[in-house]
Chains A and B, each alone.
Chain A
Amino acid sequence: MADILSILPQQLVFGLALGTVYGLIALGYTMVYGILFMINFAHGEIFMIGAYLGWGVLTFLLNAQIAGLHAAWVVPLMLLQAMLGAGLLGVCLERFAYRPLYARGATRLGPLISAIGASIFLQNAVMLTQGARMKVYMTSLLFPRAWRFEILGVSISVLVIVMIAAAALMMWGLHELVQRTTLGRSIRAVAEDREMAAVVGVNVRRVIAVTFFLGSALAGAGGVLVGLYYTQIDFFMGYSAGLKAFTAAVLGGIGNIRGAMLGGLLLGLIESLAVTFINPAYKDVVAFAVLIVTLVVRPTGLLGDVSAQAEKV
């Protein structure tokens, strides 16, 4: 037991890092649900493609043998590329896979099935173009193993700090955008009452597209961070990460932005506790048990608005 307790702080730090990334991906699910009441099941694939885009930047720089590769500029470049690419992909998905359905008054099931189709399509597109074998992130070139320090006996790598800081910064940025800007108010207005939003002059289609861009860009950034952390990516990685992030979004209360952040953090921490106290093999079991328990005990999630949910039904 003493052994287990000694590694607990270390595991909690890992859990925190993973949790912020889950939160980052969960935001996309929750924003799209908030605005269209649909679960974008292709969101995990957008995350995966973000990871590939970041990997592409890193590989390009390595192949070009550019001297002086340093995490301080390479990582932002990878994130930028992944966010732009993933964001645009999200906008395309909405435009071509979902809008034709919901604009013609399809039931909520239509876009959902289209999303599952898009997910399968994107997985196979990446497998066919990039190969089925995993790709390796050369993380150690950017973050040498020696880059770590000890705080209260816990060894923390610079990479973990960068992950937490980057994810936290993006979440803060999104929160400020949604709460304080005209665009953010328009997003909230469309989420609350789409027709009334149009009546005060909101260009609803554009706001929906922007929402997809933002959510997808965050997932793309999450892909790069996860790639750097696990150092391996493959075309199927979006499936489980997507399910985890979906769990985080439901845990926090789907449709609620702060809920997605909180749900992600909690899920990351719960997983790391499961790894420490139960068995690493049960990590996913615990995560999905959390999903089931949440749905049974508190279907609206931790921060979900019970009355708002009731109105929607």
Chain B
Amino acid sequence: MLRLTDVVAHYGPLRVLSSVTLEVRSGEIVCLLGGNASGKSTTMKTILGLVRPSAGQVELEGARIDGLPTEAIVRRGVSLVPEARRIFGRMTVWENLQMGALTRRGAPPPELAADVERVYGLFPRLGERAGQLGGTLSGGEQQMLAMGRALMARPRLLLMDEPSMGLSPALVDQVFDTIQAINRQGTTILVVEQNATVALGIAHRGYVLQNGRIVAHDAADALLRADHIRRAYLGED
């Protein structure tokens, strides 16, 4: 579904990604692990066209998407749950969800309303706070709203950037259960995480990114067992 081939990206003179090659197959959950400044978020931004790769190519379902404007990539069925949620704080919960469905202009209103209800079913707290401004929600609720907003686009590929960041352990479990549930309904997911244990727990495959290079990739359970991965990312000695 998604394939990055030898992608190189720079911020000014600084090389952030060096020849990144990765693939996400239809129906998978793939996780991209790495520490701070390893290039995880840049990889996401490159997929979405927010950062232009200086070399290499990005393909979505066989068609090249690098060089397309972000909104054109999004219209092809890619949604992002960004790092630090970035919900629209001055819009209500309902309005945020409507923004999520922006790429579906022309969809019949009852269909959109049904999708809003589905999101409220997934995250009942959002339903209770439908008229509240996004900025007044708690961190966990904002994460739910960011996920709900991304789902409103009915994405084929869902990108998630550090969904566990800043959440309590109980909430992290809930968020990852939801990610798994979304995947079972047919959405392909690429998740970027520092919390490797939880992410590998639900993923099919994983890639490890270090200083802008892919240094390992394997099935998730194999990565969980690999010694050097455990030492580097799972905090074990």
Contacts and interface: CB of A to CB of B under 8 A. Distances in A.
A182 B102 contact: yes
A198 B99 CA distance: 11
A130 interface: no
A201 B106 CA distance: 14
Contacts of A188: 88, 90-91
Contacts of B103: 200-201
A202 B72 CA distance: 9
B99 A185 contact: yes
Contact of A196 (B75, B88, B95): B88
Given A200-B74, A200-B100, A192 B48 contact: no
Contact of B48 (A197, A199, A202): A199
A274 interface: no
Interface in A196-220: 196-204
Contacts of B71: 198, 201-204
Contact of A193 (B75, B79, B88): B88
B99 A200 contact: yes
A51 B34 CA distance: 60
A300 interface: no
B82 interface: yes
Contacts of A204: 71
Contacts of A199: 48, 50, 70, 74, 80, 82
Interface string B167-208: 000000000000000000000000000000000000000000
B105 interface: yes
A38 interface: no
Nearest to A204: B71
B2 to A, nearest CB: 16
A189 B74 CA distance: 16
B98 interface: yes
B168 to A, nearest CB: 25
B209 to A, nearest CB: 21
B98 A182 contact: yes
A182 B105 contact: yes
Contacts of B82: 196, 199
Given A196-B82, A198-B50, A199-B50, A185 B70 contact: no
A192 B86 CA distance: 10
B89 A189 contact: no
B70 A192 contact: no
B149 interface: yes
Contacts of A247: none
A200 B153 CA distance: 8
B98 A185 contact: yes
Contact of B86 (A185, A193, A203, A308): A193
Contacts of B95: 185
A305 B89 CA distance: 12
Nearest to A186: B102
A204 B95 CA distance: 18
A200 B87 CA distance: 11
A195 interface: yes
B86 A196 contact: yes
Contacts of B75: 201
A84 B99 CA distance: 29
Interface in B96-129: 98-100, 102-103, 105
A189 B88 contact: yes
A201 B102 contact: yes
A198 to B, nearest CB: 4
Nearest to B45: A195
A200 B88 CA distance: 11
Most buried by A among B80, B86, B102, B105: B102
B90 A200 contact: no
Interface string B20-53: 0000000000000000000000000000101000
B74 A201 contact: yes
A202 B102 contact: yes
A305 B48 CA distance: 31
B121 to A, nearest CB: 21
Most buried by B among A189, A196, A201: A201
Contacts of A196: 82, 86, 88
B204 to A, nearest CB: 25
28 contacts: A185-B91, A185-B98, A185-B99, A186-B99, A186-B102, A189-B88, A189-B91, A192-B89, A192-B90, A193-B86, A195-B50, A198-B70, A198-B74, A199-B48, A199-B50, A199-B70, A199-B74, A199-B82, A200-B74, A200-B79, A200-B103, A201-B74, A201-B102, A203-B69, A203-B71, A204-B71, A305-B90, A308-B90
Given A202-B71, A308-B90, 6 more contacts: A182-B102, A185-B98, A186-B99, A192-B90, A193-B88, A199-B48
Interface of A: 182, 185-186, 188-189, 192-193, 195-204, 305, 308
Interface of B: 48, 50, 69-71, 74-75, 79-80, 82, 86, 88-91, 95, 98-100, 102-103, 105, 149, 153
List of 4 A-B pairs having minimum Cβ-Cβ separation, nearest first = A201-B103, A198-B70, A201-B74, A201-B102
